[in-house]
Structure formats: C-alpha cells, structure tokens
Structure 1
Amino acid sequence: MSVPHPDSVGETRAAAPVAARRPSTWHGQGPVVAVVALGGGTGATARYAASLLWPAPAGGFPWAVFWVNLAGCAVIGVFMVVITDVWAAHRLARPFFGTGVLGGFTTFSTYAVDIQRLIDAGRPRTALAYLCATLFGALAAVWLAVAATRRVLAWRQR
C-alpha cells in the first residue's frame, strides 16, 4: 500500500493555477482622462470666447482674464460644496466639471504671461496690482462662494 503525499491529501487534481488578471491602468483611468479632456476643451473655448468679447488693450489691465479667473473660482467653491454636502455625484462629475471645464476656463498660466507682458510694457505697478488683485480676488471668490452656498443650503433645510 502506498501513502499519499501530504500536500495532496483530500485534494483533487486541479488544472495549473492561472495568474490573476489585473485591469490595465488605462481601463480604469481612461474615462477620467477622456472627461477631463472634453471638459477642458469646453472650458478653454468659453475662456477664449470671453477674451474675444473683451480684449485687453496693449499694456492695459487684462479685465477678461481677471473676471474669468474670479468667476471660475467662485463656481469651483459652489460646485465643491454641492458635490460634497448635497449631491452624491457620479464619479466622473468632479473630473469633468471641476478639473476639466473649470480648469480649462480659469487660466493662471495666462495670468502669469499677462503679468510679464505688463512688466515688459513698462507697467510694473499695473502688473503688481493685477498679480495681487487676482490672487486675493480668487481666494476671496472661493471663500465667499463656499460660505454663501453653505448658508443657502442651511436656510433651505429649515
């Protein structure tokens, strides 16, 4: 009589193990990348339209970019409160609207280029005013939008 091998006691013979398949990174991130790109194109197009409607004079204060950045920051504040406190958003809502649309709409790279253009045009005080007004205005816009949105939501819940 033969003694069974200790590893095979109570086991039936099975096929060779198959390596577990991991989903590709692209499969999981592909939809996110796609909605960010789509939203970014949409937001950048809206910003470009604003700059065509309200062009900045050479050496003048770039009002269109200033107001676009402040408006975009305010909308970001409202959006973040709504999707975190009120609405269980789809997993692609934040990448599409927050990162894509609003990221493409607001333009802090153009803001930096505008500051350099103002300096090159011999307008350092205007450049400094633009730098400070945009920085503080954007922060204030987000803060005020978050506070106002939370206050409206609290009032509606009464």
Structure 2
Amino acid sequence: MKIALCGYMASGKSTVGQLVAEKLNLEFIEIDLEIQKKENLSIAEIFSQKGEIYFRKQENLALKRILKNSKNAVISLGGGTPCYANNIELLKADQDLDLVYLKLTAENIKNRLWLEEKNKRPLLSHLSEEKLEEYIRKHLFERQFYYLQSDFKIDANFKSVEQLSDEIIYLFK
C-alpha cells in the first residue's frame, strides 16, 4: 500500500502524512526532504543556487526512486510534483499507489502561509499579502488539472490534522 498526498503548499501534506503513516504503521517519505538530503542543500538554497528547472529535474528523479523502492509508505509530494515532467503519469501508473488531494481554498492557503510559513518559502518571501493570494489563485488554477486526477479528493478546509488523518485512513479500511 502506497498513499501519496498532493495539494498546494501549506495544505497539510507533511503533517497529515506523518500522522497517517504513524497510525497505519507505514514508512513516511517526504519528497522535499529526500531532495534536500541528496543535494545537501535546503529547498530555498537549491532554488537560489541552481534554479527551479534543476529542482524539478531532481524532484522527478526522487519520485522515480521513491516509487521504485517503496512498498508500504505514505508519501508527501511537493506542491508542484504532480504538475511537472511526467510525474502525474508516474503516479497514476503505479498500481499500488493511491493519490489523495488535500484541497484548500486560496484564502485558507494564503492565511496559513502568511501567518506561519511565508518566509520559509523561496518563491513567496517577496510578496505582499494581496499579491500572495493572487499568486496562489493563479497557481491553483494552473495546477487543478493535475490535482484533480487524484484517486481521492478531500476538502481540507477547517479540519484538524487528526480529522484529516482519520478521513484518509477510513478510505483504506
């Protein structure tokens, strides 16, 4: 059993994924952490030193390794993972994997990012609050095509980590 969580940044993929993995006694894999370990750089450093194209290539290679080498795991994808290279095809082709989309409104994503994480995200740190929501809306529109190919779509608005993890686990019982 492999469960991959997708969704926009700050949608809860890592936090919820860790709890789901813990409750199901599965390995937890976060694609961004795998890239950081391999590159010995933070995501922000990779973007600033090597650029987004380099990062997306590494993301694709990491996804291929994870899908090949993992049997029972919960995988937290990066926000853009399904949208680049042939990643959505790789995810959909894996017969043992179910893709779960954690869906949030642009406003809720903006609130999470603005309050908690904006300065940790290299693509966002320079944006005003108004520009941040505009940026998110544009990205959500572009990425919806990929996210909506998920096997399951979960409304993650106003739900706790515990509620979301239980909802995901219920899908696989």
Q: TM-score, normalised by structure 1?
A: 0.30
What TM-score, normalized to structure 2? 0.28
Higher strand share: 2
Rg (Cα) greater in structure:
1
